[in-house]
Structure 1
Amino acid sequence: MSGGIGTAGEVGAGRIGLVVGAVTAVQAFVTLAMLALATLAPVAVPDFGLSPEAVGYQVSLIYVAAALSSAMAGALTQRFGAGSMSLAALGLSTAGLAALTTGSLAVAAIGSLMIGAGYGVTNPAASLLLYRAAPAARRNLVFSIKQTGVPLGGALAGLALPGLASAFGWPGALLAAAALGLVVAGMVLPQRAAWDTGRQPVPVSLGAVIGTLGHVIRSPGLRPVAGIAFCYAAMQLCLMTFTVTFLVRDLGWPLVTAGAVLAGMQLAGAVGRVGWGGLADRIGKGAPILVAIGLISAAMAIAMAWLDASTPPVLVVLVLGVFAVTAIGWNGVFLAEVARLSGADAVSRNTGAVMSFTFTGVVIGPALFAILHGALGSYGATFALAAVVPVAGALFMALTRAQPRNPDARSG
């Protein structure tokens, strides 16, 4: 066990591609697992005796587990290593997908908790690896490339799962997705020993977790980043969770077509992540980019209220595409900002703590969206009302913008 966590850029240039590729693949798979049931909601959720919009509660359950596991994941990463925690994320998500196929509501709930626990430990481990690998001048771009795993995983869900469900039933589609987790684990396993270097015997306790969360709340730099993440994550997951059902129920589109649109949105989000990250590196600031993303996202959410079955498909796709570039495109700049404010010794711990706020926003977002839809009866109107959320995040960041780094480069 070595005595330090490592410094930025310590991974050789020849290894950066391997690190980025592997952590992106892990992110893509855990995202696929998280979105799998939501993507198949119109055909799968009724088999549990529920209406399709109830999938919002399943997504919230996933993120309850993600919020709890993320709060501990920073310390777990420091103690056991980034490689081991990446494998743990894959194992939990794979097992969770298998549990969903049973058709039992209770077993599916347990599986959802497992998927959430796996999702929650992913980013602290990846942030430590990327902080070691990425030069500071390219950090936003490198973190954003890794975060393309989220829309790529969503795109894979939208493209592959509806077709697989049509051919083999929705349980067969989920089992095929679980098999992919084993493939990604085979990619990561050979790197485990190298990625586990720098482990430290840090405590993994409730007191340590509360201390780190308290540091985020008190920190003048991390607090606005946590606030914006809470708001933006809520909007992002509402978009990813309810788009397919919106297109099927409100606009009358076929499920496979709606799934293909969702896949295209995820790809647009991936392009957005890389573009926003490159722009943030170019201007040398992440905060203004995050503010702009929130305002554009809110405008697109409002535009959703004007889409109906008579709207030309090209206009629907245009609105959803711009919505995706923003609402799905913010995460890499956000994580790079957390890393900038943290430093090497605290990056995994602070990432885990800030991601807890992200996941808390996601827990509230889809569940509140489902409640509001029940009252309004229209997905478009519900999206428009939800526009207040990214506006609040953008204003919070604009009014309390963090100054250049430190005193936040500590774990609390």
Structure 2
Amino acid sequence: MTAAPLPAPSWQSALGVTLAMQTAAAALGQTMPVVAPVMTGSIGLDPESIGYLAGFTSLGTVLFLACGGPVLERLGAVRMLQLGVLVSGCSIALAALGWPPVLFLAALFLGLGYGPTPPAGSRILAATAPARHRTLIFSVKQAGAPLGAVLAGLAGPAIALRWGWEAVCLAGLVLACGVALAVQPWRRVLDAGRDQGRAIHPAVLFSSGNLAAPFAALRLHPMLWPLTALSGAFACLQGSLFAFIVTWLVGKHGLSLPQAGAIFAVMQGAGVTARMTLGWLADRSGKPSLILAVQAFAGSALAASLALMPVGTAGPILGALAAACGFVAASWNGIALAEVARYAPQHRIADATSGSTVITFLCYFLAPLAFAALAAVFGWTAPLLLMAALPAAMGLLTAPRLLRG
């Protein structure tokens, strides 16, 4: 007797699953930055060390994106999202041990667990989202990133001051287990197309063909590399802001940890609103790449303004500028991913997304490392100005191609 065919998944359920997983993954990924001032101080690390930890997290994501494609094909997108968030949850719990070598290992595996989020989410939404609303739907899913960071920014400092930063890490494990269980009812229908015969042994994962596949996919359309280059520039600025803003506000401007965490949350909350607003605008205008180009120049200007605020600037002014940065400079992700999915061939969307995201996360990896090294020598302002300039500079280089596309 033949089993009844599974019903086609609705885009609403697909969006709900991917949004929940994106939110949880982002909350876990931002746990270390929001408790960085107390965490680094308690274990004897310099404040700028959070940049190295953030870099290791991004490196872990790059490792998955570079070779995890066959595992995604074999297990399915939802299962990979579940496994990824559980790896991240266990990693952040491991960080509670507070031993620096373990902390760096935990940061690496935290990023490895985040790795499935972009390609798995794009795979699910590309198969279910109506074409006329694709950019908005991708942007709503990506709004889970700042939404998770809002959760981390509000809850993390409060828990850390009451029970210690280690308790924040353990709360992350609870969150990971809860959300992985919550999406299980949708796994069967959303993973119906997985390739159960796909080989996933190490010789396949680390073969030259598999490692090259994400980058080869970026050559399948002339718009994919310009989109990726601009995404990388945005990532340098966004990664630096997210990794350092709490430490910067506490160390340079003298704010308390809860005040700095609240400003971090405000910046991320603005990103939630922006991703949905700008995603809707991109769909309505029919020119998503134009929206990205405008964001590049506006984001650079706002981040430079934030960097130049003198010591003693009132908290509300810092919060307003941080919110403006979050609205403009940290809301590009959904539009960029939707554009990659639009230009890539249907059967190579996961590969193209992985390739673009590998480059993006290499920038997330390198930028905080460079920022930390520069901050140790020149202070906070110069490296922040440097990162602020990158989106505008790359916008100048890529805008002609983007606007033609």
Place the TM-score, normalised by the shorter chain, in its bin.
over 0.9
Q: How does 1:266-345 map to 2 (within 5 A)?
A: 266-345=268-347
The answer to whether the 8 A contact 1:30-1:119 is kept is yes
Deviation at 1:219, TM superposition (A): 4.2
Aligned to 1:92: 87
1:237 to 231, 235, 239: 239
The answer to whether the 8 A contact 2:150-2:264 is kept is yes
Whole-angstrom CA distance in 1 between matches of 2:51 and 2:75: 33
Aligned to 1:46: 41
Residue 218 of structure 2 aligns to a residue in which SS?
helix
The answer to whether the 8 A contact 1:270-1:328 is kept is no
Aligned to 1:197: 192
**Size of the alignment, in residue pairs?**
392
Which of 24-33 and 307-316 deviates more? 307-316
The answer to whether the 8 A contact 1:165-1:171 is kept is yes
Amino acid at match of 2:165: W
The answer to whether the 8 A contact 1:291-1:398 is kept is yes
The C-alpha deviation readout for 1:213-254, integer Å capped at 9, x for no partner, is: 134257412111111111111111111111111111111111
Deviation at 1:25, TM superposition (A): 1.4
1:144 aligns with 2:127: no
- Name structure 1 gaps, 5 residues minimum: 1-9, 405-412
Which of 328-337 and 82-91 deviates more? 82-91
Whole-angstrom CA distance in 1 between matches of 2:372 and 2:58: 15
Whole-angstrom CA distance in 2 between matches of 1:261 and 1:165: 17
Q: How does 1:123-162 map to 2 (within 5 A)?
A: 123-162=118-157
The answer to whether the 8 A contact 2:235-2:360 is kept is yes
Deviation at 1:162, TM superposition (A): 0.5
Aligned to 1:55: 50
The C-alpha deviation readout for 1:116-155, integer Å capped at 9, x for no partner, is: 1111111111111111121111011000000011101111
2:353 to 339, 351, 374: 351
Aligned to 1:4: none
Which of 200-209 and 264-273 deviates more? 200-209
Aligned to 2:402: 401
What is the TM-score of this pair, normalised by structure 2?
0.92
Amino acid at match of 1:276: L
Amino acid at match of 2:273: V
Deviation at 1:308, TM superposition (A): 2.4
The C-alpha deviation readout for 1:353-385, integer Å capped at 9, x for no partner, is: 1110010010111111111212221x2343222
The answer to whether the 8 A contact 1:155-1:266 is kept is yes
**Residues 75 and 290 of structure 1: CA distance in aligned 2, closer, same or farther (over 3 Å):** farther
What is the TM-score of this pair, normalised by structure 1?
0.91
The answer to whether the 8 A contact 1:144-1:333 is kept is yes
Amino acid at match of 1:108: L
Deviation at 1:340, TM superposition (A): 0.1
1:67 to 55, 62, 77: 62
1:122 aligns with 2:117: yes
The answer to whether the 8 A contact 1:224-1:402 is kept is no
**Residues 20 and 218 of structure 1: CA distance in aligned 2, closer, same or farther (over 3 Å):** closer
Percent identity over the alignment is: 33
Amino acid at match of 1:94: G
Deviation at 1:174, TM superposition (A): 1.1
The C-alpha deviation readout for 1:9-61, integer Å capped at 9, x for no partner, is: x955xx32222122111111111111111111110012332112101000101
The answer to whether the 8 A contact 1:83-1:192 is kept is yes
The answer to whether the 8 A contact 2:153-2:261 is kept is yes
The C-alpha deviation readout for 1:61-87, integer Å capped at 9, x for no partner, is: 111111121123333322321121111
Deviation at 1:191, TM superposition (A): 1.8
Deviation at 1:403, TM superposition (A): 5.7
Amino acid at match of 1:380: T
Whole-angstrom CA distance in 2 between matches of 1:396 and 1:348: 26
**Residues 395 and 374 of structure 1: CA distance in aligned 2, closer, same or farther (over 3 Å):** same
The answer to whether the 8 A contact 2:58-2:111 is kept is yes
Aligned to 2:222: 220
Whole-angstrom CA distance in 1 between matches of 2:300 and 2:229: 16
Whole-angstrom CA distance in 2 between matches of 1:295 and 1:11: 42
Whole-angstrom CA distance in 2 between matches of 1:21 and 1:35: 21
Whole-angstrom CA distance in 2 between matches of 1:371 and 1:76: 36
The two structures, once aligned, show a CA RMSD in angstroms of: 1.8
Whole-angstrom CA distance in 2 between matches of 1:218 and 1:384: 35
The answer to whether the 8 A contact 2:246-2:257 is kept is yes
Deviation at 1:398, TM superposition (A): 0.5
Which of 28-37 and 390-399 deviates more? 390-399
The answer to whether the 8 A contact 1:287-1:397 is kept is no
Deviation at 1:89, TM superposition (A): 0.9
Deviation at 1:187, TM superposition (A): 1.1
Whole-angstrom CA distance in 1 between matches of 2:357 and 2:42: 33
Whole-angstrom CA distance in 1 between matches of 2:95 and 2:367: 22
